[in-house]
């Protein structure tokens, strides 16, 4: 990840601020406020602002004055209860804002989570950076045979080299064409003084999806956890998972009690259907049951057995 001199100075200016506030703050999150945390080859995440902490959740749940209870153990018990019983509104009282630099194809996947306020870098107004995401060879995988939207075995050798060259060359070629159509180089210099540059809103059309974009993404704590439950999961696409893992660390710094409950009940826990519950009850009683008797599909049965690590029943 490379930052321009201007970006580095901007971050230093932001971090040098000393503001006095009566609002609650999260000391561990304050330590990394405005810092550009690297993601992928050219991307980053920065926490720009936040509102509330664990005590804000407790306060809103009890509709009380002040910072909630004085005992952390009591606050912890209430937050666990809220998480366990899927009470959502108290978690909506906290908000966080990120500055994210990411490849366009990940941004288009990310934006499917429609529960945030987003303002993206305008390629109608400014010229996009000459930076493209190129996968590390270890993350260059073939299409999965079993999963239509997943990856299979890693591609190696000459085929991997060929794919990476194609990705790199296509990105550079289309960016060169982008500059030609704009009649302007990335550094601001003019290519041909006798030509007019095409409108930026049109010239951007042929850029590859691995070109980097940036946005400010603001959401509340509830929807952040919904995002992380899906995108920090090992089934999620690797590239978006890199960002989600960084955000998971910011969650821990921001609301540590909520983070523990989230990891316990959402990330580490599992949901069981009514039929699945009956199957588990029968297995606990020592009764024999198989896929054909269960009423579940083959996929449902496999997921249930894997969730409870019942390996001898997996088909």
Catalytic residue among 229, 231, 266, 299: 231
Query: What is the per-residue pLDDT across 188-213, written as a single tens digit (0 to 9) for each?
Result: 899 999 999 999 999 999 999 999 99
Ranges of each domain in the chain: 5-127+210-267, 156-206, 274-313
Cβ contacts of residue 194 below 8 Å, gap of 6+?
none
- pLDDT at residue 32 in the model: 97
Query: What is the per-residue pLDDT across 66-121, written as a single tens digit (0 to 9) for each?
Result: 665 556 678 999 999 999 999 999 999 999 999 999 999 999 999 999 999 999 99
Name the CATH topology of 5-127+210-267: Gyrase A; domain 2 (3.30.1360)
Closest CA to 303 of 292, 288, 291: 291
Query: What is the per-residue pLDDT across 122-164, written as a single tens digit (0 to 9) for each?
Result: 999 999 999 999 999 999 888 877 777 777 788 889 999 999 9
CB atoms within 10 A of CB 83: 24
- pLDDT at residue 221 in the model: 98
Helix 298-307 to helix 274-284 angle (10° resolution) is 50
Clarify whether 231 is annotated catalytic: yes
Q: What integer is the mean pLDDT of 13-35?
A: 93
Helix 238-254 to helix 221-231 angle (10° resolution) is 140
> Residue 88 and residue 224: Cα distance in Å, rounded?
12
Instruction: Tell me whether residue 44 is exposed, middle or buried, using C-beta atoms within 10 angstroms of its C-beta: 0 to 12, 13 to 18, 19 or more.
Output: buried
Query: What is the per-residue pLDDT across 222-260, written as a single tens digit (0 to 9) for each?
Result: 999 999 999 999 889 999 999 999 999 999 999 999 999
Strand order in the sheet with 37-39: 37-39, 43-51, 95-103, 212-220, 117-120
């Amino acid at each position: 990840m490379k930052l321009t001199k201007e970006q580095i100075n901007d971050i230093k200016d932001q971090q040098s601020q000393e503001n006095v506030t009566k609002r609650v703050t999260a000391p561990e999150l304050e330590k990394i406020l405005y810092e550009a945390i690297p993601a992928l080859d050219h991307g980053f995440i920065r926490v720009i602002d936040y509102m509330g902490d664990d005590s804000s959740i407790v306060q809103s749940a009890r509709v009380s004055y002040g910072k909630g209870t004085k005992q952390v153990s009591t606050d912890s018990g209430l937050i666990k209860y809220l998480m366990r019983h899927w009470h959502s509104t108290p978690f909506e009282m906290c908000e966080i804002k990120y500055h994210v630099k990411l490849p366009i194809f990940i941004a288009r996947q990310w934006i499917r989570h429609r529960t945030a306020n987003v303002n993206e870098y305008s390629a109608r107004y400014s010229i996009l950076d000459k930076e493209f995401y190129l996968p590390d060879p270890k993350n260059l995988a073939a299409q999965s045979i079993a999963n239509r939207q997943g990856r299979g075995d890693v591609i190696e050798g000459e085929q991997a080299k060929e794919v990476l060259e194609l990705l790199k060359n296509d990105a550079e070629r289309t960016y060169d064409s982008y500059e030609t159509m704009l009649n302007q180089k990335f550094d601001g210099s003019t290519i041909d003084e006798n030509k007019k540059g095409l409108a930026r809103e049109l010239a951007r059309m042929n850029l590859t999806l691995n070109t980097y974009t940036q946005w400010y993404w603001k959401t509340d704590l509830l929807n952040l956890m919904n995002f992380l439950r899906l995108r920090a999961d090992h089934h999620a696409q690797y590239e978006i998972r890199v960002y989600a893992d960084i955000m998971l660390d910011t969650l821990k710094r921001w609301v540590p009690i909520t983070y523990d409950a989230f990891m316990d009940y959402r990330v580490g826990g599992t949901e069981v259907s009514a039929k699945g519950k009956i199957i588990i009850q029968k297995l606990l009683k020592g009764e024999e049951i198989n896929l054909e008797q269960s009423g579940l599909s083959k996929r449902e049965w496999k997921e249930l057995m894997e969730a409870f690590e019942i390996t001898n029943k997996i088909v």
